[in-house]
Structure 1
Amino acid sequence: MRSIGEMARSSGLSVSALRFYDGAGVLVPARVDPVNGYRWYGPEQVDEARLLARLRRAGMPLADIRLVLAGWSSTDSELVRRLLQTHLRRLERGLSDARMEFSTVRALLDHRENPMAPPRTATIRFTVGAPELAAALDAVRFAASTDPELPMLGGVLLDVEGGSLHAVATDRYRMAVAHVGGSGDAAPRAQITVPSALADAMRALLRDGGSAQLSVAGNHVALETGARQAAGQCLDHDFPDYRRLVRLPAGTRALIDVPAFRAAVATGPVRTAETPEPGAAPSRLSVLKVAGDGTVAVCADGDDDPDSVAVNREFLLDALAAGARDQLILEFGAPTAPMAIRRTDTEDTFSLLMPVRLDT
C-alpha cells in the first residue's frame, strides 16, 4: 500500500489533486484509515493514477475519465477507444475554432501600429552610478527568459526616461523590476532590450565603483566605465508593456527575515505540479500563507487553506536572493494573483511570481 504522498510521487499528481479526485469519485483510495483519515492506495492504482494524469493533461472531462478508468479496469477496450476517439474529435474541433479566432486576432494585430518603444534615431546618453546599476541588474537578471521561441524576452529591458532608469526582465512566470536614478540628455523615452549575454558583460564592468555611461544610437547600445566598454546590438523586438503587468491591487503584506525564511523554504515541504511546458519535469512548489500573527508559513501536505498561495520553490529562492536584503516584504493578493517580493526601502524594485493552481 502507498500513502498519498508516495502515490503523488509515483504518479506525478499532486497530493491536493489526489484528494480532489477521491472526492470526485474518480480515483478512490483502496483504504482510508478510520481513525486518522489517511488515504492508502493499492499498487495497481499507480497505473490508474498515471493514466488519469495523462488524460487530464489532454483536457479530458472528469466524467469521461471516470468511464475510461472503469473500462480500463474491466478490460472494456471498446468503450475506452470510443471515449478516446470522441475526445480527440472534440479537441480537433476546438483547435479548428481556436485557429479561426487566432487568425482574426492576427489580422487585427496586423492592422494596428502601436509599438511600445518610440523609434530610436538620436543618440541618447545616460550616466548612472556603477554600484547602483550593478544592483539593478542583479535584481532582475534571474527572471530573463531562456525560451528560444520567445526571443523578445531573452534579455533585460532598460527603460530610460528623464532621470530614471528601470531594468526589467520576465519569462512569463516571474518578473523583476529595478529602478535607479541618474542623469542624461533631455531626450524622449528610450527603451532597449539588451541580450542576456550583453547584460552579463555590462554587469562585469561595474565591479570597480565610480560611474557608468549608457549610450544608445539606433539599435546599438554601449556601456562605458572609464576606459572599458561593453557594446553590442539590442534585441530587434518590442518588449511587452511591463507597466500594465505590475498594476496589482493592494494585498496583505508580511515582513520576513530573509535568512530564516529562505531556510524554511529550502527545507520545508513541497508539492509537485505539472509544468505548462510540454515534456518538462513537474515543478516543485512551496505553499505559503500568512498566519494570524503576521508571519508567513510554509504549509505542509494536508493544509489546504483556500487563501494559501503556491509558487515555484526555485523561483521563490531566486527572488529572495535577488532581493539582496536581510528583510523583505511579501505581498499576497488573491490565490490567483501574482505574489510580490518587495524591498523595505523602495517601492520601485521588486519581483513578481505567478501562482500555481493546486487543484488540477
Structure 2
Amino acid sequence: MPIGAFAGRSGLTPSALRFYDDAGLLPPARVDPVSGYRYYGAGQVARAVMLRRLRELAMPLASVEAMLDSGAEEACRLLDTHVTKVVEEAAEVRRKAAVIASALSTVPGQSIAAVKGPVLADAVEQVLTSSAHGTGIPALAGLRIEANAESLTLTGTDRYRLSTRTLVPAEPPARAWAGTVDGQELRAAAAASRRSPLVRLEAVPDGLWFRTADRDDRFCRSLPGPFPDHRLLLASLGEVTTRATISKEVLLRAVEDHPGEHIGLRVAQGALYVLPTGHERPWVPVPATVTGRSLRIRFALTTLYPAVSTAIGPDVLLDLRGHDQPVTIRSAGRGDLTTLAMPVSPG
C-alpha cells in the first residue's frame, strides 16, 4: 500500500514514516526505483502501531528499537524501565517548579520550628511507613505536620495504620501552624538534613522549606485536600482492657517465622501466643508481661509488622481494647512514637 494509506492504518503521518525509514526503525517493504515512492505491507502495520504508541510515551529512538526487536519479556522490562525514569523525571520537574513558584511568592515565610537534623530524619522515616499512595486521597501520601509552642507532631495514616510522633523543638514557633506535606519530598528533604545539627522549618503558602546551615535547602510541596481527623480518632478510643509488654525483636521474629497473610494473637492467663490464622498449628508462646482480660485478635501481616518494627527501643507496649478495636503500639520506655493498627475480622 502507498505511504498515505499506510499512514491512515498506522496512525503515523507520512512525514513520520519517512523519518522512521531514515532512522532504520520502519523501512518500507518496497521503494519504487524511478519515483522513489514508498510502499508498505499489511504485515508492517502492527510494528508501526507499536512504534507510534512507544513514541507517545516519549521513549527515545534507541529504546524503541530495542523494544521492537526484543521478545515479550525483555520488552516489558524495557518498558518498565522507561516508565520509572519518566515518573522520576516528572517528579523532579514538579519539585523544581514548586521551588521556583515558592521563590516567586511575595508572602514571607513563617518559621515553625528548629529541630535536630538526625532526630527529624528518623521521625519522618518512622511515621511515613503509615502513609499510602494510589488511594485517590492525596493527603494520605503525605504527613500532617503540626507545630505549637510545646511540640512538633508528625502524623501519617493509610486508614489501616496511624502513626504519630511528637518532637520537642529546639526553637518553638512564634505561632501555631499545621499542614500536610508530600511524603516523598519530605523523605528526601529529611534524608538530606540528617547530617545537619539543626534544621529550621519554614512554612510558605504552598509548602515547607527545610533550611540548614550549609544552605542545602530543600522544599516540600503541600498536598491538597483535608487530612483525616486523627485527633477525633485518638480521642474516641475505647478503654484499654488488655496490656502486653514484649520484646520487639522476639515479636517480629515470631511473626516472620510463620507463613500466611494474617497473624493471630491470643492473650490468656498472663501470656501471649502467636498463630497465623488458617493454619492448623499450635499456638507459639512468646515471652511477655501481660495484664487484663483474655482475648484473641487478628491482623494483616502488612499492618502488624511495620507497626511493630518502627517502634523505638527494644520493647513494645500493646494496648488492646477488643478483637474489633484498634490496638495501640508504642515503645515501652518512650511514648513519643505511637501507632494504631486496625485488626481484621476474626473470619
TM-score, normalised to structure 2, is 0.60
From 237, 241, 263, the counterpart of 1:286: 263
The answer to whether the aligner puts 1:261 opposite 2:241 as a matched pair is no
Q: 1:164 aligns with which of 131, 151, 155?
A: 151
Distance 1:258 1:221 in 2: 34
Q: Structure 1 residue 264: deviation in Å?
A: 0.6
Please show how residues 1-360 of structure 1 align to structure 2 within 5 Å.
Answer: 123-182=110-169, 183-187=171-175, 189-226=176-213, 227-247=215-235, 248=237, 249-268=239-258, 270=260, 284-298=261-275, 301=279, 307-359=295-347
Q: CA deviation digits over 1:88-116, x for unaligned, max 9?
A: xxxxxxxxxxxxxxxxxxxxxxxxxxxxx
Q: Determine which structure has more spread, i.e. the larger CA radius of gyration.
A: 2
In structure 2, C-alpha distance between the alignment counterparts of 1:202 and 1:328, rounded to whole Å: 29
Q: Are the equivalent residues in 1 in contact too, given 2:185–2:220 (CA < 8 A)?
A: yes
- Flag the 1:158–1:306 CA change in 2: closer, same or farther, 3 A: same
What is the DSSP-based 3-state SS (H/G/I as helix, E as strand, rest coil) of the residue aligned with 2:194? helix
8 Å contact kept, 2:155–2:163: yes
Q: Does the CA-based 8 Å contact 1:126-1:214 persist in structure 2?
A: yes
What is the aligned partner in structure 2 of residue 103 from structure 1? Answer: none
Look up the equivalent residue of 1:185 and give its one-letter code. P
Q: Give the number of the structure with larger relative contact order, counting CA–CA contacts within 8 Å between residues 6 or more apart.
A: 1
Q: In the alignment, is the contact (CA less than 8 A) between 2:262 and 2:299 conserved in 1?
A: yes
The change in CA–CA distance for 1:199 and 1:251 in structure 2 (over 3 A counts) is farther
Tell me how far apart the structure 2 counterparts of residues 293 and 307 of structure 1 sit (CA, whole Å).
Answer: 11
Please tell me the residue identity of whatever aligns with 1:266: E
Q: CA deviation at 1:331?
A: 1.4
Structure 2 residue ranges without an equivalent (≥5): 1-106, 284-292
Q: 1:121 to 1:224 in 2, by over 3 A?
A: closer
- Post-superposition offset of 1:329: 0.7
Deviations 1:179-202 (A, max 9, x none): 101122321x21111111111112
Contact 2:266 2:294 in 1 (8 A): no
Distance 1:157 1:334 in 2: 28
User: Over aligned residue pairs, what C-alpha RMSD do you find?
Assistant: 2.4
CA, structure 1 residues 231+288, in 2 after alignment: closer, same or farther (shift >3 Å)? same
Q: TM-score, normalised by structure 1?
A: 0.58
> Which string of whole-angstrom CA distances, capped at 9 and with x for unpartnered residues, describes residues 7-43 of structure 1?
xxxxxxxxxxxxxxxxxxxxxxxxxxxxxxxxxxxxx
4+ long deviations beyond 6 Å: 303-306
Question: How far, CA to CA, are the matches of 2:178 and 2:113 in structure 1?
Answer: 12
Q: AA paired with 2:207?
A: H
Give unpaired runs (5+ residues) of structure 1. 1-119, 271-283
Query: Which whole-Å deviations, capped at 9, do the CAs of 1:259-318 have from their partners, x for residues lacking one?
Result: 111111111253xxxxxxxxxxxxx11011223234343366458999211111122111
How many residues in Structure 1 have an aligned counterpart in Structure 2?
226
Q: Quick one: distance in 1 between partners of 2:241 and 2:269?
A: 15
Q: Deviations over 1:235-262 (max 9, x none)?
A: 1222122111123222311111111111
Q: Name the % identity.
A: 23
